Amino acid sequence: ATPTALMAGTGRGAQLGILIKGPEVLETARRIDTVVLDKTGTVTTGRMALGRAHTAPGTAEADVLRLAGALEHASGHPVARAVAAGAAARTGAALPAPSDFTDVPGLGVRGTVEGHHVLAGQPRLLADARITLPPSLAGALERAAGQGRTTVAVAWDGEARGVLEVSDTVKETSAEAVAELRALGLDPILLTGDNRAAAEAVAREVGIDTVHAEVLPQDKAEVVRRLQAEGRSVAMVGDGVNDAAALAVADLGLSMGTGADAAIEAADLTLVRGDLKVAPAAIRLSRRTLCTIR
């Protein structure tokens, strides 16, 4: 490839809303055969909203919302923002400030609110603390996840107290983007830290067959490495701090311009408007750019 043709391709990319780190990126893009897509914020909008609240027998919904909301208010995660905003709106009161707070990446949050030791996050976070859900909450959690919702289990003082439903929306263009990736001969794979049922519901909606769910942030890069070990040339598309390592390991890292700075820095290519349809456009551009010069 001549430098001039690659520079022209880079300029054309900018017009399409693709920021390319360097001209050589287009050469790599041409070889890609597998595209790993992060779920939250990449395939979905990541603008989550609090849905139903389920409580354990004898627990008041207002307490679940206040204690979970207070802790989540201290986390920047999209799930956390939805819970904190929803809790403040529904209780109609200011959330108390936690006296102690820890973010557990990919799992949830833990800390102390009003003297209670509170956990909020994936059921695994509670299970790790040897807290089991009563049957009514376990059932609610399973039904919500089956409908594609993210669920936040809430416990305090060693007991499970509630389950909150959080919903996200698939981006309007995601299904079309996946179809275009397939048409280019690329194999789409969904990768997420979210629960399997929610991940599969999103995958079905956009037409992806292969799903890696419940993957902890530190293990996302390992999923990419394993695909590479199978001889695949892998592109990763992500938006979160949690995706940065996987974006760096991938042969081609694509970040959402709407995402975290760490993701944008780790990527080779940035989709400025956060529109997934620009991903197949980038691959097409790389193929066309290199065709015209051979």
Q: Kindly list the catalytic residues.
A: 38
Q: What, of ligand ADP, Mg ion, none, does residue 275 touch, CB below 5 to 8 Å by kind?
A: none
Contact between 240 and ligand ADP by CB under 6 A: the answer reads yes
Q: Are 72 and 78 in contact (CB under 8 A)?
A: no
- In whole angstroms, how close is the CB of 217 to ligand ADP at the nearest point? 5
Taking CB under 6 A as the rule, which mask of x and - marks residues 32-71 in contact with ligand ADP? ------xxx-------------------------------
Judged by beta carbon distances under 5 to 8 A according to partner kind, the member of Mg ion, ligand ADP, none in contact with residue 107 is: ligand ADP
Q: Is the dihedral of CA 228, 189, 238, 254 positive or negative?
A: positive
Q: How is the chain split among helix, strand and coil, in percent rounded to 5?
A: 45, 25, 30
Residue 115 tokens read as 């003297």
Task: Specify the stretch interacting with Mg ion by CB under 5 A; choose among 20-28, 30-38, 125-133, 212-220.
Answer: 30-38
Phi then psi for residue 154, to 5 deg, are -120, 130
Q: Tell whether residue 72 is a contact of ligand ADP (CB under 6 A).
A: yes
- DSSP string of 190-251, one letter each residue: EE-SS-HHHHHHHHHHHT--EEE-S--GGGHHHHHHHHHHTT--EEEEE-SGGGHHHHHHSS
Question: Per-residue x/- marks for ligand ADP, 89-128, CB under 6 A?
Answer: -----------------xxxx----------xxx------
Q: What number of H helices and E strands is found in the chain? A: 12, 13
Binding mask 224-253 for Mg ion (x = CB under 5 A): ---------------xx-------------
Distance between CA 216 and CA 66 in Å, rounded?
27
Closer to Mg ion by Cβ: residue 28 or 40: 40
Q: Which residues bind Mg ion (CB under 5 A)?
A: 38, 40-41, 239-240
